């Protein structure tokens, strides 16, 4: 039995105050769904099987390019980050893994970190490399790129860092490496567009060669920022071409914020799934660009449509279809634990709503060219308030009926604020 950070009796006390109301809501929804031929308990069991990884960097206040306003009791190192991640999983029961970012989270003793995670009932999802920043004492700067740099020494250093991430990940029990580079150009003519991608491919092959047999390499694309004229891996087409060139263990990672506004992301998801290259997601939401807002906070319908494609792919491809679900958010005005819990629940909500789509009816309407009823079939699932299913899934798995309320009632933030005094000079800018 893993250790709980918040006293289990406190969570139980919170649940006791809401249990009867939840049961009434659950029974009402169950009756409504049974008239649609849906067994609510089967759906709740499905919800219990859902999991999304928490980004270690999400439990601190991210900040923007302009400033960072730290919150109380922020984790000061990776062990404290794991404690916060354990709280998120304890209350939501939907986040059993953590995605680490190196060198931000480089542990002094990787084995000890794995033991800490084990004792908290956590595991590790994909590890992330960082060649978008220079680290203290680094021999070669990434100012003009990393995997695509003109400097061979900088490229080799970036490849070596990714291989080091794989080695750390192996000790931690991770099974994947996510590679995102900010490489690109700010001026037309600054890069030879083809030459930069050739250098990327050459470097990426060096990383790919170091992947263990049961690992995946996730290639994450991003439209712009920090490069503002062109980014080397800017879109899913480039990501797909790279993944094809590298081989079976290379797949594409879709960060929802890394597209132009109004891009049809669900179609990108469908395309990548069709050709066996959908590796996974960084879930978040956005209004303008890579805003890293809480999942489902701006466009929950888009999130649902993404999961609708995932449900379709799962039905077609069965167990072989198993993309990695991760959050990637930056919190500036909320308690990061509350935001991450809410986001995990929103992603799980989209997953359950997509499971409610009557796929046979939809296929029939599509075959009849009945556009209106096809759209209504999706809307019917999307409009169903599955909150009681999500709450019951948490309750049955030992979590909190209302994670944010239980978290606030626990006083966790105030307790860690005492244990974790702010570091001098901890404000400033940047996501770190
Ligand atoms: C880049 O914007 C990104 O989405 C990548 O996943 C990074 O690893 C992450 O954000 C953290 O900066
Ligand atoms: Mn990302």
Position 62 pLDDT exceeds 50: yes
Q: What is the pLDDT of residue 351?
A: 98
pLDDT tens-digit profile of 231-273? 999 999 999 999 999 999 999 999 999 999 999 999 999 999 9
Question: Is residue 390 a part of any domain in this protein?
Answer: no
Cβ(125)–Cβ(105) below 8 Å? no
Q: How far does the centroid of ligand 1 lie from the alpha carbon of residue 180, in Å?
A: 7
Q: What is the pLDDT of residue 424?
A: 62
Which ligand number lies closest to the CA of residue 63? 1
| Closest atom of ligand 1 to CA, residue 130 | 8
Mean pLDDT, the chain, rounded, equals: 96
Please count the other Cβ atoms lying within 10 Å of the Cβ belonging to residue 16: 10
221 lines ligand 1 (CB under 6 A): no
pLDDT interval class at 206 (50, 70, 90) = very high
Q: What is the pLDDT of residue 1?
A: 58
Q: What is the pLDDT of residue 429?
A: 44
Name which residue sits closest to atom 7 of ligand 1, judged by CA.
180
Cβ(269)–Cβ(303) below 8 Å? no
pLDDT interval class at 422 (50, 70, 90) = confident
Position 426 pLDDT exceeds 60: no
Q: How far does the centroid of ligand 2 lie from the alpha carbon of residue 145, in Å?
A: 18
Name which residue sits closest to atom 3 of ligand 1, judged by CA.
180
What is the C-alpha separation between 44 and 63, in angstroms, rounded?
36
Sort residue 189 into left (φ over 0), alpha (ψ -120 to 50) or beta: left
What is the C-alpha separation between 270 and 284, in angstroms, rounded?
19
Q: What is the pLDDT of residue 286?
A: 97
What is the C-alpha separation between 92 and 377, in angstroms, rounded?
29
Sort residue 28 into left (φ over 0), alpha (ψ -120 to 50) or beta: alpha
Position 427 pLDDT exceeds 70: no
pLDDT tens-digit profile of 11-55? 999 999 999 999 999 999 999 999 999 999 999 999 999 999 999
Comparing C-alpha atoms, which of 275, 282, 219 is closest to residue 251? 219
Output the CA torsion sign for 246, 154, 126, 387: negative
Question: Is residue 344 a part of any domain in this protein?
Answer: yes
Q: What is the pLDDT of residue 425?
A: 55
Name which residue sits closest to atom 6 of ligand 1, judged by CA.
180
Pairing of strands 324-327, 278-283: parallel
Give the domain range for residue 189. Answer: 51-348
Cβ(302)–Cβ(29) below 8 Å? no
Question: Is residue 99 a part of any domain in this protein?
Answer: yes
Question: Is residue 104 a part of any domain in this protein?
Answer: yes
Question: Is residue 131 a part of any domain in this protein?
Answer: yes
255 lines ligand 1 (CB under 6 A): yes
Position 7 pLDDT exceeds 50: yes
159 lines ligand 1 (CB under 6 A): no
Name which residue sits closest to atom 1 of ligand 1, judged by CA.
180
DSSP secondary structure letter of residue 68: B
CATH, residue 303: 3.20.20.150
Regarding pTM above 0.95, the answer is yes
Question: Is residue 388 a part of any domain in this protein?
Answer: no
315, two tokens: 């039905």
Q: How far does the centroid of ligand 1 lie from the alpha carbon of residue 353, in Å?
A: 28
Pairing of strands 184-185, 250-255: unpaired
Rounded to the nearest 10 degrees, the angle between the axes of helix 110-119 and helix 78-92 is 20
What is the C-alpha separation between 384 and 392, in angstroms, rounded?
16
Position 430 pLDDT exceeds 50: no
Position 401 pLDDT exceeds 90: yes
pLDDT tens-digit profile of 94-111? 999 999 999 999 999 999
pLDDT interval class at 2 (50, 70, 90) = confident
Question: Is residue 331 a part of any domain in this protein?
Answer: yes
Q: Give the chain's domain count.
A: 1
Name which residue sits closest to atom 10 of ligand 1, judged by CA.
328
Which ligand number lies closest to the CA of residue 225? 1
Question: Is residue 414 a part of any domain in this protein?
Answer: no
Q: How far does the centroid of ligand 2 lie from the alpha carbon of residue 166, in Å?
A: 18
pLDDT tens-digit profile of 127-178? 999 999 999 999 999 999 999 999 999 999 999 999 999 999 999 999 999 9
């Amino acid at each position: 039995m893993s250790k709980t950070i918040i006293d289990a009796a406190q969570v139980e006390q919170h649940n006791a105050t809401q249990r009867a109301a939840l049961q009434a809501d659950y029974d009402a929804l169950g009756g409504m769904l049974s008239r649609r031929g849906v067994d609510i308990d089967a759906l709740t069991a499905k919800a219990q099987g859902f999991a999304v990884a928490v980004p270690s960097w999400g439990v601190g206040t991210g900040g923007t390019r302009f400033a960072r306003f730290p919150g109380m009791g922020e984790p000061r190192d990776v062990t404290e980050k794991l404690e916060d991640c354990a709280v998120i999983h304890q209350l939501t029961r939907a986040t059993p893994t953590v995605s680490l970012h190196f060198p931000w989270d480089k542990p002094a003793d990787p084995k000890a970190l794995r033991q800490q995670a084990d004792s908290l009932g956590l595991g590790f999802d994909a590890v992330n490399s960082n060649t978008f920043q220079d680290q203290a004492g680094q021999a070669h700067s990434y100012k003009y790129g990393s995997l695509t740099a003109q400097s061979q020494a900088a490229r080799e250093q970036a490849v070596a860092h990714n291989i080091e991430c794989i080695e750390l990940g192996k000790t931690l029990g991770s099974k994947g490496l996510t590679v995102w580079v900010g490489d690109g150009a700010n001026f037309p003519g600054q890069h030879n567009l083809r030459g930069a991608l050739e250098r990327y491919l050459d470097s990426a092959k060096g990383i790919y060669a170091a992947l263990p047999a049961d690992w995946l390499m996730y290639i994450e694309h991003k439209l712009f920022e920090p490069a503002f004229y062109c980014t080397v891996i800017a879109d899913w087409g480039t990501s797909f071409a790279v993944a094809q060139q590298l081989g079976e263990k290379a797949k594409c990672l879709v960060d929802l914020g890394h597209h132009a506004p109004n891009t049809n992301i669900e179609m990108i998801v469908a395309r990548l799934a069709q050709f066996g290259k959908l590796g996974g997601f960084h879930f978040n939401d956005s209004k303008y660009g890579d805003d890293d807002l809480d999942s489902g906070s701006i466009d929950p319908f888009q999130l649902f449509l993404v999961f609708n494609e995932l449900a379709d792919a799962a039905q077609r491809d069965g167990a072989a279809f198993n993309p990695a679900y991760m959050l990637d958010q930056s919190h500036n005005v909320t308690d990061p634990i509350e935001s991450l819990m809410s986001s995990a629940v929103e992603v799980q909500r989209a997953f359950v709503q997509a499971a409610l789509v009557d796929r046979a009816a939809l296929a029939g309407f599509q075959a009849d060219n009945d556009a209106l009823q096809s759209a209504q079939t999706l809307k019917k699932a999307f409009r169903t308030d599955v909150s009681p299913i999500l709450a019951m899934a948490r309750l049955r798995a030992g979590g909190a009926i209302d994670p944010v309320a239980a978290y606030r009632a626990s006083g966790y933030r105030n307790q860690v604020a005492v244990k974790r005094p702010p570091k001098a000079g901890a404000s400033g800018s940047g996501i770190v």
